[in-house]
Amino acid sequence: MATPRSDALVFFGATGDLAYKKIFPALQAMILNDGLDLPIIGVAHSDWDIKKLRARARDSLTQAAKDQGIKFDKDGFEKLSAKLQYVDGDYNDPATFDAIKKALGKAKRPLHYLAIPPSLFGVVAKGLQKVGCADEARVVVEKPFGRDLASAKALNATLHEVFPEQSIFRIDHYLGKEPVQNLLYFRFANTVFEPVWNRNYVESVQITMAENFGVQGRGAFYDDIGAIRDVLQNHLLQVIAMLAMDAPVGSDPESLRAEKLRIFRAMKPVDPKDVVRGQYKGYREVEGVKPDSNVETFVALRLHIDNWRWNGVPFYIRAGKNLPITATEVIVDMKTPPLSLFDEISQKESNYFRFRFNPEVIIAEGARVKKPGEKMRGEPVELVARHHPRPEKSPYERLLGDAIRGDNALFTSDESVEAAWAVVDQVLTHEKPVATYKPGSWGPSEALKIVEGDEGWHDPTPEETSPC
């Protein structure tokens, strides 16, 4: 069913880090590529004015262009700048919301984007409601959605006092990534996978999200959450859901969300003994981090999914800062052939599927072929279905565009976000201290024990550039 487009964008947290790194570049791209044409009202409590916000937007776009190795687009900046307005004020002060209402002018269906800490969601939602700016509006909220299951439930209840569920868009930028979408497409647009995508053929699944940098000036924020809340409960469980869910009954958002919810509910709560937490040496010296911090910058764990498709198949998940490389990769390891007829094939050498989400996009299948020559001996090869350097559309451009159109397929529902918290709820508080690791290593050695058998972790390596 077609839903009306939002007619203004109000973004809270406009002077913050996320706005600088992701939102301004996404807005410029939406203006240039998709003809986005609506008032954009930045809101923050920073003692700024519109001049300062425009300068910040310019810096952000200059930096984004530099990162992509392209020229700063002056025309794009000017178009964005012309649509920008700014409201400065305390979220507890009703005058801030009066000013937002004034800035909205004739707009009737604003999209409010809350790029602010979850502790402020309630106060902002109520502030908007009081001045009538929540009626017919949509709200986008950033992750992490709460700190644990109980706080996520409380947050859902608070938001539901102001917005109906279909107007709440819980964003997880991983879901807007081209290769994450391709995971779903590739699985369900080909018949060959379904017969083998289960416990009969899959030995184990691994996902590694490695970053070769530390917490990058976000010490205080990060030290309050750690790796499990920052990327595992959301980005990585979402990827597992895409990988493990059953086929939705249709391509409509509701069918997709329904299947995802079923798979989240089938995930067993992670057992604390299946988790290793690590902290890189030097983390405690980062500004904003407590000198005795026990917060993890690395986590490795074993997850089980209790359903007919996956029972008994371990899902190994690992994420960390200051690892040797920046790459996110999934490996679906298939079982070895029942008999090794020609040469011994170990688990490490058996078939696998590889999905790399960044920095490049890769979908590949690992197989063995006979080496030319007289002997029946083989060697590993990779059949590459997709390999390109970087996705064209940024996740924020895609997701904000979807939210403006009212399409919630790639956003997380209230039930799913709670089900995902339920998976990690038992491993959010810790008596055991974190194990330290050397920056540039693959985390603490204890993490090796998470993977059962002799297979070990598949460490992502730098890719050669590929022609296709």
Query: Annotated active-site positions, please?
Result: 235
In whole angstroms, how close is the CB of 437 to ligand BG6 at the nearest point? 17
User: Does residue 460 have a cis bond before it (omega within 30 degrees)?
Assistant: no
The residue (of 178 and 230) whose beta carbon lies closer to ligand BG6 is 230
CB distance 46 to 8 below 8 Å: no
The residue with its CB nearest to ligand BG6 is: 230
Residue 110: beta bridge partners?
8
Q: Residue 303 burial (CB < 10 Å; 0-12/13-18/19+)?
A: buried
427-464 as b/e: b if 16+ CB within 10 A: bbeeeeebbbbebebbbbeebeebbeeebebbebeeee
Q: x/- contact string, 198-237, with ligand BG6 (CB under 6 A)?
A: -------------x------------------xx------
The residue (of 290 and 390) whose beta carbon lies closer to ligand BG6 is 390
How many CB atoms lie under 10 A from the CB of residue 354? 20
Q: x/- contact string, 150-189, with ligand BG6 (CB under 6 A)?
A: -----------------------x----------------
User: Does residue 94 have a cis bond before it (omega within 30 degrees)?
Assistant: no
Dihedral sign, CA of 116, 121, 125, 126?
negative
Structure tokens at 256: 């997709």
The residue (of 175 and 244) whose beta carbon lies closer to ligand BG6 is 175
- For helices 178-188 and 237-244, the axis angle rounded to 10 degrees is 20
358 binding ligand BG6? (CB under 6 A):
yes
Map the footprint of ligand BG6 across residues 231-290, applying CB under 6 A.
231
The secondary element (H helix, E strand) that includes residue 398 is: helix 395-405
The residue (of 202 and 289) whose beta carbon lies closer to ligand BG6 is 289
Please give the biggest Cα pair distance in the chain: 83
Q: How many residues bind ligand BG6 (CB under 6 A)?
A: 5
The residue (of 6 and 358) whose beta carbon lies closer to ligand BG6 is 358
In whole angstroms, how close is the CB of 391 to ligand BG6 at the nearest point? 10
Map the footprint of ligand BG6 across residues 29-88, applying CB under 6 A.
none
- 3-class SS of residue 88: strand
The residue (of 128 and 231) whose beta carbon lies closer to ligand BG6 is 231
In whole angstroms, how close is the CB of 454 to ligand BG6 at the nearest point? 30
φ and ψ of 36, to 5 deg: -55, 125
CB distance 3 to 406 below 8 Å: yes
The residue (of 19 and 87) whose beta carbon lies closer to ligand BG6 is 19
What is the DSSP track for 256-302? Answer: HHHHHHHHHHHBPPPPGGGEEEEEETTGGGSTTS-TT----SEEEEE
In whole angstroms, how close is the CB of 173 to ligand BG6 at the nearest point? 6
190 CB contacts (<8 Å, ≥6 apart)? Answer: none
- 3-class SS of residue 24: helix
The residue (of 231 and 289) whose beta carbon lies closer to ligand BG6 is 231
397 binding ligand BG6? (CB under 6 A):
no
- For helices 74-83 and 50-68, the axis angle rounded to 10 degrees is 150
The residue (of 22 and 257) whose beta carbon lies closer to ligand BG6 is 22
Say how far apart CA 148 and CA 417 lie, in whole Å: 10
Say how far apart CA 427 and CA 434 lie, in whole Å: 13
315-320 and 298-303 strand pairing: antiparallel
In whole angstroms, how close is the CB of 268 to ligand BG6 at the nearest point? 25
Question: Would you tell me which residues interact with ligand BG6 (CB under 6 A)?
Answer: 173, 211, 230-231, 358
